Amino acid sequence: MWFKQNKQVFDQILASFKFGDQIEKEEKKLGYIKSITPVYDSYQLVVLYANWIEDKTKPNGYRIEQPSTELVTLPLEQNPQIVMQTYDHAANGNFNFNQTITLSQFLPLFETNTPQKNALYWLELKNGTITKITEQYQP
C-alpha cells in the first residue's frame, strides 16, 4: 500500500542511485619495489610497504618503519607517470629533481644493483592499480 501511494517519491530516490557505477578508490602508499615482472601487455610490481615518520630526534628528521614484512603484488597501469629524484644530474652537478621518465627508462633500473633499485617510492593507486610512481628523495 505504501509503495503505491509513494511511487513518485520512491522513483525519485531510486533515480538518485547509480547502479553499476564503480566508485573510484584512490590511495597513496610508500614502499620499496622488490621486483617488476611482465604480465601480458603490462607489468606488476611486488612491493614492501613502509611508513615515513617525521622524527626530530633523527639526524635527517625522519625515520622509516615497515609495518609488515608481507609483500604485496600490484598491477601497473600500461603508461604510468614516473617521477624520479635521482635519475639524472643537472649541469651544475645537482640531481634533476622531479624528472619525469618513461616506463622503458624505469625498468632497467631494477635489472642491476642501482641506487634507484633500493629507493623508496610513493605509489599512487586507482582501484588497486598503480597509476603513478614517485621516487622519495632521501638526503
6, part of any domain: no
Cell of residue 83, nine digits: 617521477
Of the two residues 22 and 59, the one the predictor is more confident about is: 59
Is pLDDT above 70 for 123? Answer: yes
Per the domain annotation, does 4 fall within a domain? no
Q: Is residue 14 domain-resident?
A: no
Could you report the per-residue pLDDT of 81-107, keeping only the tens digit for each? 999 999 998 889 899 999 999 999 999
Distance CA 36, CA 107 (A): 8
pLDDT in tens, 48-62: 999 999 999 999 999
Domain hosting residue 82, numbered range: 24-136
Q: The pTM is what?
A: 0.81
Averaged pLDDT, 38-44: 93
**Residue 29, pLDDT score:** 97
Report if residue 82 sits inside a domain: yes
**31 lies in some domain:** yes
Mean pLDDT, the chain, integer: 88
In a domain, 93, yes or no: yes
Residues whose CB is less than 8 angstroms from the CB of residue 70 and which lie 6 or more positions away in sequence, other chains included? 48, 49
Residue 33 lies in a domain: yes
Q: How far is CA 29 from CA 10, 34, 120, 121, 135, in A?
A: 41, 15, 10, 8, 12
The total domain count for the chain is 1
Q: Is 47 domain-assigned?
A: yes
